[in-house]
Structure 1
Amino acid sequence: MYRRRILLIVLLGGLVVAGYFAFMVYRALFTPNTAFENEVAYLYIPTDASYQEVRAQLDPLLADPETFDAVARQKKYPGNIRPGKYPVRKGMNNNEIVNSLRSANTPVRVSFNNQETPASLAGRIADQIEADSAGLLAAFTDPSFLGAHGWTQDQALLPYIPNSYEFFWNTGAEEFRQRMLQEYERFWSAERLAKAREIGLEPEEVIALASIVHKETAKPEERPRVAGLYLNRLRQGMALQADPTVIYAIKKTSGNFDTIIKRVLYRDLELDSPYNTYKYGGVPPGPIFMPDISAIDAVLNPESHEYLYMVADTENFGYHQFAKTLAQHNRNKEQYIRWINSMNIRR
């Protein structure tokens, strides 16, 4: 009888211990363990991150970091950390948090437009994915990559069509470059290639000309007319004489792309640069700017007209006055010069 009691007590004690242990396991695994009010928080886990680095990001998000550590060790997460952007949702328990960190790498939207140099593009992209600006710049300007596609350093911006794209945050520099090359090749559909041939330009020349069109007018509805004007000039063997190319030539020659130039002077037109379209004929050796798709399509779908000249319209800001003859253009130009002098714009 006595032994039976002892066994019963031991058994009951064991059940209590087991029950407590089961409760603690349940609590560690399935009790909500978040300490923030937003619906979701994100962890950005770098490549080769340690568990301590992950925990440093998690600490302010967790109500009980110690139980998370226990579950993470049990699920062998510290030895299987994966880089990327991972969500932690309000009310998640430790089991759900670990599962999210193991399998819920979430894409980010990468957007860019209107960059003037590979360096500025690299800086823009580095703000949005893990790759740093130095690595991106090296990838963009890699001579072997450019040479493999018949491009020069002046054409390094070509394969980056401005838009928004989905990437994983942990994308590397060369991986980003390869994806953008694929997007560039997809952009140049059979239809667009046929239109480029129709106007007598290679895709690289289309983008270079589109960069000038974009710089000339911020009005998308005016771009086909401006594109038509420059194509008329090219067909007639005239120099493009585009002020934005001169401004770019000044910046490139000085190495200072932060320079602000509001007025092109006559002396600037003598600058010896292949980007000076007053001095050199044809399309410049590369884009002066990263043109929007609307500018590229404007070159591929130009307005048909006989205009050869244009100048800013001082009565309708943002637009231009167009002329078929030099005499008409000179009258329009006089009006513009009077206005710019009245505004005391010297440079």
Structure 2
Amino acid sequence: MDKKKIVMGAAIVAFSMMLSSFGFYFWQMVYSPNFLVEQDPKPLMIKTGSTFKDVQNTLYDRRYVNDLVSFSFLSKMMDYDELVKPGLYLIEPGMTNMQVIRMLRAGDQTEVNVTFNNARLLSDLPEKLTRNLEMTELQLAEWLLNDSIQSAYGFDSLSFIGMFIPNTYKMFWNIKPEDLLNRLKKEHDKFWTDERLQKAEQLGLTTNEVSVLASIVQAETIKSDERPIVAGVYLNRLKRGYPLQADPTLVFAAQDFAIKRVLNKHKQIDSPYNTYKYQGLPPGPINMPSITSIDAVLNYTEHKYLYFCAKEDFSGYHNFARNLIDHNRNAEKYQRALNKAGLYR
């Protein structure tokens, strides 16, 4: 046999084998599982400003990927190395290079839950809002505590906490402070439906005033079934021109949230939040009222009570009274219970 033909044949066979091997490797690179093989689903966080090298390091260091070389090669073929998008992505066990690259290239993020409640002060919100987000507390605080930004949303520094309706919201992990506030303003506007707005108008209150009263009701009782009754008491007092005389507003005015027992000295504090000294509603909420508390005001219980006092059994419920004589009797029973328990401040 001609020597040249033998060499040519061998070369063809070798080339065919190489082509076959490369084809098989390419098929594996595209379609074979390469992520979290035999592991649980895992979120991948790509920070704002990350480069492709940062992504590679994260995948390797945190053991997301079995074969980093194949991922990197295919990423460059698909131009992902030039199209890195920040965000939080959920990597499922057994995902292929192709699946992951397509997801990352498209910025197909997984949303996170942003849950917040029980904030006393506006300054408490940055920590609660950023718990599951990329932005820091400081970054959000720079927006949240800015007077001009508060004004742009139709609020001021005293009322701005009322824009935030406590709930759980789905958001992208890398949302920006401005977009976060825009989203929560939309949720506020969505919450105030025509029905709620009509009920507020019937009470003669603005939405901000409803939030202020709801915050007082919330501070007065932890019992959601009692809140409409408490709201009714305060609405009765407002209609009659009586000062609210709400103890929680004195605690807020003192800015001492460790106070367990309001004393006469607290009633002397000169503050617009002192509802013993000044008639009407204070200028802003004394906490971030919940949906339950806001709806308790809008759907208050009609009655003739003008006073209430915590029950002496410390159950969290209250004794209600139509007149001062009955109220003083209830208050005396509660004061005796406080003295017996050794609660003097």
Which TM-score applies when normalising by structure 1? Answer: 0.94
Structure 1 distance, partners of 2:279, 2:176, is 39
CA distance in 2, matches of 1:312, 1:326: 15
CA distance in 1, matches of 2:194, 2:96: 52
Q: 2:116 aligns with which of 112, 116, 127?
A: 112
CA contact (8 A) 1:118 1:137 kept: no
Correspondence for 2:128: 124
Q: Deviations over 1:199-256 (max 9, x none)?
A: 11111000010000011111111010000000001111111111111111111xxxxx
Partner residue, 2:196 = 192
CA RMSD in angstroms, aligned pairs only: 1.6
Q: Shift in Å at residue 51 of structure 1?
A: 2.1
Tell me the equivalent position of 2:54: 53
2:26 counterpart letter in structure 1: V
- Give 3-state SS (helix, strand or coil) of 1:321's partner: strand
Check whether the contact 2:162–2:211 (CA below 8 A) recurs between aligned residues.
Answer: yes
Contact residue 38 and residue 94 of structure 2 kept, 8 A? no
Q: How far did 1:37 drift?
A: 4.4
In structure 2, how many angstroms separate the alpha carbons of the residues matched to 1:268 and 1:115?
A: 23
Q: Secondary structure at the match of 1:85?
A: strand
Pick aligned residue for 1:74 from 59, 74, 77: 77
- Provide the C-alpha distance between the structure 1 equivalents of 2:258 and 2:98, rounded to a whole number of angstroms: 55
After superposition, residues 85-234 of structure 1 pair within 5 angstroms as 85-103=88-106, 104-234=108-238
Structure 1 stretches of 5 or more lacking a match?
252-256
> Does the CA-based 8 Å contact 2:40-2:92 persist in structure 1?
yes
Amino acid at match of 1:45: I
> Aligned partners of 1:63, 1:4: CA distance in 2, in Å?
43
Q: Classify 1:18/1:37 alpha carbon distance in 2 versus 1 (closer, same or farther; 3 Å).
A: closer
Q: 1:62: how far off?
A: 1.7
Moved more, 1-10 or 205-214: 1-10
**1:8 matched residue in structure 2:** 9
Residue 38 of structure 1 deviates from its aligned partner by 4.2
Distance 2:89 2:147 in 1: 35
Check conservation: 1:88, 1:100, Cα contact below 8 A: no
- Out of 307, 311, 314, the position equivalent to 1:313 is 311
Deviation at 1:345, TM superposition (A): 1.0
1:1-60 superposed Cα distances (whole Å, 9 cap, x missing partner): 333222211111111111121122223222222346443111121222122332333222
How many residue pairs get aligned? The number is 341
Rate the CA distance shift 1:155–1:88 in 2: closer, same or farther, 3 A. Answer: same
Moved more, 135-144 or 73-82: 135-144
Contact 1:141/1:156, CA 8 A, preserved across alignment: no
Counterpart of 2:77 in structure 1: which amino acid?
A: Q
Aligned equivalents of 2:87 and 2:312: distance in 1? 51
Secondary structure of 1:285's counterpart equals coil
TM-score, normalization by structure 2 = 0.94
Partner of 1:243: 247
SS in 2 for 1:110: strand
CA distance in 2, matches of 1:150, 1:71: 50
Q: CA deviation at 1:320?
A: 0.4
2:284 to 277, 283, 286: 286
DSSP-derived class of the 1:193 partner: helix
Deviations 1:258-305 (A, max 9, x none): x42211111111111111111111111111111111110111111100
Q: Deviations over 1:99-149 (max 9, x none)?
A: 222232111121111211222111111112222212222222322232234
Partner SS, residue 91 of structure 2: strand
SS at match of 2:35: coil
Give the conservation status (yes or no) of the 8 Å contact 1:119–1:133: no
Per-residue displacement from partner, 1:282-337 (whole Å, max 9, x unpaired)? Answer: 11111111111111011111110011111111236011000000000000001000
**Amino acid of the structure 2 residue aligned with 1:56:** N
Q: 1:14 to 1:36 in 2, by over 3 A?
A: closer
Give percent identity, aligned residues only: 38
C-alpha distance in 2 between matches for 1:149 and 1:176? 13
Answer whether contact 1:109 1:166 (CA < 8 A) is retained. Answer: yes
- Amino acid paired to 2:8: L
